[in-house]
Structure 1
Amino acid sequence: MNDRSGSAQRLADDAAAILEGMSDGFFSVDSAWKFVYLNGRAEGLLGASRAALVGKTLWEAFPALAGTAFEEVYRKAMREHGAAELTAYYSDHRRWYEVRIAPAAAGLSFYFRDVSAQVATQQALRESERDFRLMADSVPQIIWIVMASGEAVYFNRQWEDYTGVPIVSSTPAEVANDFVHPDDLGPTMAAWAEAYAQQRGFHVQHRIRSRTGSYRWFLVRAEPVMDAAGAIVRWFGTSTDIHEEKMVKLALEAAERRHAFQQALADRIRPLLDPEEVAAAACAMLGQYLGAGRVVYGEADDGGMQLDMKPDWTDGSLASMGGRRLRLEDFGMAVSDILRAGHKLVIDDVLRVDAAQPHLPNYMEAGIRAVLAVPLVKEGRMRAVLSVHDGAPRAWSAEQVAMAEDMVDRTWFAVESARAQAELRAERDQSRQIFDSMTEGFALLDSDWTVLQVNEIGAQLARTPRAALLGQELWTAIPQLLGSEVERLYRRVQAQALPATLEYAQALPAGGTAWLELRAYPLPGGRLAIFFRDIGERKAAEGQLREADRRKDDFLAMLAHELRNPLAPIGAAAHLLRVGRLDPDRVRHTSQIIGRQVDHMTHLVNDLLDVSRVTRGLVELESAPLDLRDVLADAAEQVAPLVQARRHLLRAEIAPEGAMVVGDKKRLVQVFANILNNAAKYTPEGGSITLSLLAQADSVCVDVADNGIGMAPQLVSHVFELFAQAERSSDRSAGGLGLGLALVRSLVELHGGTVSCHSAGPGLGSRFSVRLPRLAAAAADAGPDAAAPAMAAGGQGLRVLVVDDNTDAADMLGMVLEGLGHQVAVEYGSHAALARVRTASAPPQVCLLDIGLPDIDGNELARRLHSRPETADAVLVAVTGYGQESDRQALDPAFAHHLVKPADIGRLAAILDGVARAARS
């Protein structure tokens, strides 16, 4: 065999190997249709061996091909020596074959495979699609398919039946724009975008326009179909008509909103007694609920031509119409006729209403563009009109109209009821209490004591879960009531059919007592309505009130005692002076007694005024950097006479380093002097008092400890309250009004500090601790204390006019000033003072004026003196018993100084000394 023949053989072998390895069947025939070659796959598909087929013609081997599509295609390919493809059913094998024919050198080559399964699948798909369309067209829902690209590829027949428009290839956005209600369009597209983004189901309710132009509600659902990679291929969705259910639901929701509003309105107007307050409250609630510009309730006159507008409500965009009398004809007779006929007036925009055009100026003046007015007709006559206004066009919904219609009747009833209540208030008190108690605990008991109803508040007050009460016998659910006052009350009310009330102290499981007020009312059939509320706060307040009343009585007794003490020596001294047979030493001694007692009374009055001003926040601190050691030294100096008189040992434990704070030196001295004075008063003679100061990083602590009478725990907890004092003996030897420590706490807190008290018990002494913020060393730069003005020396020769309707006070002040060397004139009234100024040869240089003068008050007198040429340059000083900051601010600007009675003679002398120096210069 030569090389060429060998190569040909190898090619033939390779071709045969390829053909045998094919998954398709293969055979070839010559031009006479005789089988030349079959591969193994062809043998299997044809059900015949090569030996049985080779040499036979195709038609001999398979006579069933005659007359079929196979024969026609095969013969045409042979004639034209061309290629062909077909898929046909071979009945002999009852199978479908896909055949591809290719021309060969001496005939045809056939490639074929069994496609019966694929054909069956395609047929099933076509049948399934046909069944799907039949089913989709038969269901009431709209069924649709949208591709991932957004193209709408299928809508069932219901879509066209409902909308009247066949679907075209559109995106969901286009469909929504064309058919979805404008109010629902935004939420729909937002839900669609979210579903796409999160690759989850799409659910929405919206309205779709029908072929008639009306809208109905549909529930729209769609689920995505994913490919193997998890990407959305298409959406399968349904749109189900839920209009009737939706309208029922919306109606129920509207009814619930209306009921809730009505309940809120009832709660709001229930406590109101004034009919106009009722109308205003109803208008306010309706306006806020509707989001309107103004709501006004007007009562009509007998002819129905005018409305008396009651207090209204506005949101601020429209002016109030309350208190006005409105003529309906000013807004058009058509409007007034509609209302008088008992019909509601609904105008979305007055500019579009022909009947309103001639009266537009009146509408515009009132700020009305949209109006909803509902009349109330009783006994054939219009009695009132409820009007809702808006300053912009507005489409009033049916729910809003219904709300206004309901409101006008309710408002009328409430207003009329309020009027009746004003006349029958006494008889109505009990009913009102029952009505008001609906917001409290409530329980309904059957005649056999079964708990039929109980609200949540009632269950909480009963300290029993609601589920454990409902349907249970009361005595079983709350066994502690058996044999109690409550059981006796309930049984008595049931037996006598008379309501009764009980205040009941309920023992709590964790200890303590809860006070309840129970009100039981008999109902038909032996049932009981029980209303109850927690009155613990009221009981506590009553206890506090009793304690405050007791302390007030104690304080008044203390005040009377403290004021009588100095009055006795003052009265005796005055009697001695009236006798007039005293030598100079006795006169001086008597004057000293009067001065000391007046100082004591002044101190008492100043304490009262101080605690009032401080506790009401009317004190302004003159703050500056201070070394607290200097403050404590001044305070100790003030109490030194009392400490020495009671032979106390006062020890000072003061840290050597600086203790700088920011504060008002006068007030801080007052704080520590009060604490030291308190320690001295309550420590028996010969006792010891320790004053210590400790400076810490950010605070300074001052302790005042004594070994005195101490305090019981109940007094320690109240020691800083007004009028609180330890028990005193009947002689009141310690004195005071119980104001000092209350003043201490208020002043310390004004300085940003704290004060506390500790006592181990009666007889064991007390310790008071004051802690104040410490001033950093870098910021400590306290200036020198201002020196107090010294009393002016006599002999200055100023001309002074004293005006006071209290003759004793005026005369005494005049004598004191004369003792200081001044020329004094005294008058007891404003007119007399003005007359003296006009006739005096030398006008006064200083005028001391009382403010509370009977004929012309001190402010007016100051203005007149200041306006006169004789006294235009005189220094005016107010000397008055009014010492509040507000009193100072109310003084006429003509006053240069303000002194509180009794006048501080040292300060007055300093003022006069300053005037004298200015006159000399």
Structure 2
Amino acid sequence: MTAQTIDQLLLENQRLRHLLAEAEDTLRALRAGEVDAILVETDREQVYTLDTANKPYQLLVEQMPLGAASFTTDGIILHGNRRFASLLGRSLETLVGKSIYDFLAVESRATFESLLRDVQAAEVRAEVTLQRGDGTLVPAYLGVSALREGPLGMCLVMTDLTEQKRYVELQGAQEALREADRRKNEFVAILAHELRNPLGPIRNAARILKLKGPQDPELRTPIEMIERQTEQLARLLDDLLDVSRISRGALEMRQERVTVSDVVDASVDACHEELQERGVSLRVGLPTEPTELVADRARLIQVLWNLINNAAKYTPSGGKIELTAMVSDCTLVLSVRDNGIGIPPDKLTDIFDLFAQVDRSGEREGGLGIGLTLVRQIVTLHGGSIEARSEGIGRGSEFIVTLPVVTTAAPAPATGPVSGPAAAPRRILVVDDNQDAVESLAVLLQIAGHDVHKALDGEAAIALAQQVRPDVVLLDLGMPKVSGYEVARRIREHPWGKQMILVALSGWGQADERIRTQAAGFDAHLVKPVAPEALNQLLATTPARSRESAAP
């Protein structure tokens, strides 16, 4: 090798060492953040600045709705965006250089330590609680990753969970309210059912005393008093159950054509004794022309009875109530006006709230506070409206109900129940686990001329039905061990039981229960306490069925 060749190799080696040194210096400067721009020599000289290269990412981090920060492996904060500082309730300048553990609730620090131990293997996530500068706590969801290049350590992204937590809590509260409402309705239904059971024997006993007891006028007065009060209690139970049904959307409506005069007359008759007892007079004004509605007759009577009864409660003895009806533009306008103690103007809207008892005179009147709530719901279900008016305390009050009237021709409207002829003597089996209910109803039926047999449980009822082959079985549904439904099914399985008339007796009276009784083979359904008139009408109108075999 010539000396010239050796000199060339030495020069090339020196040049390459110089280039390597420059490259190493450039990398060191880049790592240290000492480079602001890079000049690339090409056909067209071009400058790349590190600031413009990273700016879109910096803007993204600064504007993102999540908190973001970088920190060392021992938790010292190096950088954070504005959302990170906002979540911690501090300025960014006060955060840099501080330990992130200072801003974690005590119970979350162990969780964060666990994240740092696991972060080298993969990105890790967990829910923690942050502690803001003012001491308030913020639930947050963290995602932590290790920085793969350089000695910076870790980066995290955090999401504020406050709204999500509030939403979950709200959902839980709503579910709790729904469950409480369901349990309330269930309790009301059970309460009404349990109160109906003793009410039946009381009503029956009062009727027996009236029919067969001594004719001493001093005794007839308390007997009639018992009858009136049991009727009042039965109406209160009906209202209580109806409010429960309305809240569940299960109120049963039986629409038919009815006349306004029939509904008003029935309502006035129902209130007569209450008005007489309170010493309040009632004047009724009806349209001169017959007016018809498509409505549930019993429910409309319930509406007017509640309104008249409410007016009587707040009208002193010697006061007056006016019930008027008029038709205007295919709308029936019913008004119940009194000259009683009136209603404070600020309570006119509250008066229809459930269980509301507006203090009008400093003394609370009786009642459950559900009558006007029920009235409004029934009127609304009929497509109508109700409004309360009063000029204040001592100025009386007025309730105005509007309902659509019938404008097209149709079959004659139905009228209220009338007392029919006495039922022909039947052989009747009465079944109930309440002995007082069985005995009192049996006595009433015997007074009416029927041949009555009694059973106190389901098994005894089936055996007795097979033995005496009754025409009619009055069967309580809620018996222990063998229910009324099961008794009916088992009776219908036998040839001798297929033609018997089975009547369900129940304290519930709900629509789904009527469906169940029909499926079990019952012919009719009566709600306790059974009115003697209703039972007599059922027995008188139900045709006697020819049995396949006579009683032995």
Q: Structure 2-normalised TM-score?
A: 0.60
Kept in 2: contact 1:626–1:782 (CA 8 A): no
Determine the C-alpha separation between the residues in 1 that align with 2:268 and 2:358: 23
Q: Which amino acid aligns with 2:442?
A: G
**What's the counterpart of residue 723 of structure 1?**
355
Q: Does 1:909 align with 2:536?
A: yes
Q: Which runs of 5+ in 1 are unaligned?
A: 1-440, 456-468, 476-492, 505-515
- What does residue range 742-761 of structure 1 map to in structure 2 within 5 Å? 742-761=373-392
Comparing 723-732 with 637-646, greater Cα deviation is found at: 723-732
SS of the equivalent of 1:883 reads: coil
* 589 and 695 in structure 1: CA distance in 2 versus 1, 3 angstrom threshold: closer
Q: How many Å apart are 1:662 and its aligned residue? A: 2.3
* 871 and 648 in structure 1: CA distance in 2 versus 1, 3 angstrom threshold: same
* 914 and 656 in structure 1: CA distance in 2 versus 1, 3 angstrom threshold: closer
Kept in 2: contact 1:635–1:670 (CA 8 A): yes
- What does residue range 852-867 of structure 1 map to in structure 2 within 5 Å? 852-867=478-493
Kept in 2: contact 1:444–1:528 (CA 8 A): yes
Q: Deviations over 1:508-562 (max 9, x none)?
A: xxxxxxxx9965899999x99866449699899989x99x999x99xx99x99xx
- What does residue range 441-840 of structure 1 map to in structure 2 within 5 Å? 452-454=81-83, 499=129, 532-533=162-163, 585=216, 591-657=223-289, 659-712=291-344, 715-727=347-359, 734-776=365-407, 779-781=408-410, 783-790=412-419, 793=422, 796-840=424-468
Q: Which amino acid aligns with 2:401?
A: V
* 682 and 445 in structure 1: CA distance in 2 versus 1, 3 angstrom threshold: farther
**What's the counterpart of residue 506 of structure 2?**
880
Kept in 2: contact 1:800–1:845 (CA 8 A): yes
* 748 and 531 in structure 1: CA distance in 2 versus 1, 3 angstrom threshold: same
- RMSD between superposed Cα atoms in Å: 5.2
SS of the equivalent of 1:903 reads: coil
* 836 and 656 in structure 1: CA distance in 2 versus 1, 3 angstrom threshold: closer
SS of the equivalent of 2:352 reads: coil
Q: Deviations over 1:642-688 (max 9, x none)?
A: 33333334344545455443222222222222222222222333333
Q: Deviations over 1:437-487 (max 9, x none)?
A: xxxx86789999x994349xxxxxxxxxxxxx99xx979xxxxxxxxxxxx
* 862 and 698 in structure 1: CA distance in 2 versus 1, 3 angstrom threshold: same
Determine the C-alpha separation between the residues in 2 that align with 1:758 and 1:445: 65
Determine the C-alpha separation between the residues in 1 that align with 2:160 and 2:361: 52
Kept in 1: contact 2:103–2:130 (CA 8 A): no
Q: Which amino acid aligns with 2:457?
A: G
- What does residue range 250-261 of structure 1 map to in structure 2 within 5 Å? none
Q: Deviations over 1:160-200 (max 9, x none)?
A: xxxxxxxxxxxxxxxxxxxxxxxxxxxxxxxxxxxxxxxxx
Determine the C-alpha separation between the residues in 2 that align with 1:500 and 1:520: 7
**What's the counterpart of residue 523 of structure 2?**
896
* 592 and 657 in structure 1: CA distance in 2 versus 1, 3 angstrom threshold: closer
Q: Which amino acid aligns with 2:354?
A: L
* 693 and 881 in structure 1: CA distance in 2 versus 1, 3 angstrom threshold: closer
SS of the equivalent of 2:398 reads: strand
Kept in 1: contact 2:475–2:503 (CA 8 A): yes
Determine the C-alpha separation between the residues in 2 that align with 1:851 and 1:913: 23
**What's the counterpart of residue 475 of structure 2?**
849
* 835 and 540 in structure 1: CA distance in 2 versus 1, 3 angstrom threshold: closer
Q: Deviations over 1:742-770 (max 9, x none)?
A: 22122212211122333444444433222
Q: How many Å apart are 1:913 and its aligned residue? A: 2.6
Q: How many matched pairs? A: 418
* 818 and 541 in structure 1: CA distance in 2 versus 1, 3 angstrom threshold: same
**What's the counterpart of residue 7 of structure 2?**
none
* 539 and 637 in structure 1: CA distance in 2 versus 1, 3 angstrom threshold: same
* 500 and 767 in structure 1: CA distance in 2 versus 1, 3 angstrom threshold: farther
Q: How many Å apart are 1:797 and its aligned residue? A: 3.4
Q: Which amino acid aligns with 1:727?
A: D
- What does residue range 229-308 of structure 1 map to in structure 2 within 5 Å? none
Q: How many Å apart are 1:895 and its aligned residue? A: 1.7
* 443 and 770 in structure 1: CA distance in 2 versus 1, 3 angstrom threshold: farther
Determine the C-alpha separation between the residues in 2 that align with 1:844 and 1:496: 78
SS of the equivalent of 2:241 reads: helix
Q: Which runs of 5+ in 2 are unaligned?
A: 1-64, 71-75, 92-101, 109-128, 145-153, 547-552
Q: How many Å apart are 1:826 and its aligned residue? A: 0.7
Determine the C-alpha separation between the residues in 2 that align with 1:865 and 1:648: 53
**What's the counterpart of residue 29 of structure 2?**
none
**What's the counterpart of residue 10 of structure 2?**
none
Structure number, greater radius of gyration = 1
Q: Which amino acid aligns with 1:607?
A: D
Determine the C-alpha separation between the residues in 2 that align with 1:900 and 1:662: 25
Q: How many Å apart are 1:825 and its aligned residue? A: 1.0
RCO greater where, 1 or 2, for CA within 8 Å and sep 6 or more?
Answer: 2
Determine the C-alpha separation between the residues in 1 that align with 2:456 and 2:420: 26
Q: Which amino acid aligns with 1:775?
A: V
Q: How many Å apart are 1:836 and its aligned residue? A: 2.8
Q: How many Å apart are 1:593 and its aligned residue? A: 4.2
Q: Which amino acid aligns with 1:737?
A: L
Q: Which amino acid aligns with 2:282?
A: L
* 696 and 444 in structure 1: CA distance in 2 versus 1, 3 angstrom threshold: farther
SS of the equivalent of 2:454 reads: strand
Kept in 2: contact 1:442–1:532 (CA 8 A): no
Determine the C-alpha separation between the residues in 1 that align with 2:420 and 2:80: 84
SS of the equivalent of 1:790 reads: coil
SS of the equivalent of 1:898 reads: strand
**What's the counterpart of residue 25 of structure 2?**
none
**What's the counterpart of residue 72 of structure 1?**
none
Determine the C-alpha separation between the residues in 2 that align with 1:655 and 1:445: 81
Q: Which amino acid aligns with 1:875?
A: I
SS of the equivalent of 2:530 reads: coil
* 519 and 686 in structure 1: CA distance in 2 versus 1, 3 angstrom threshold: farther
Q: How many Å apart are 1:711 and its aligned residue? A: 3.6
* 868 and 520 in structure 1: CA distance in 2 versus 1, 3 angstrom threshold: closer
Kept in 2: contact 1:705–1:765 (CA 8 A): yes
Kept in 2: contact 1:501–1:520 (CA 8 A): no
Q: Which amino acid aligns with 1:834?
A: I
SS of the equivalent of 2:351 reads: coil
* 501 and 858 in structure 1: CA distance in 2 versus 1, 3 angstrom threshold: farther
Determine the C-alpha separation between the residues in 2 that align with 1:769 and 1:899: 33
What is the percent sequence identity of the aligned residues? 32
Kept in 2: contact 1:706–1:765 (CA 8 A): yes
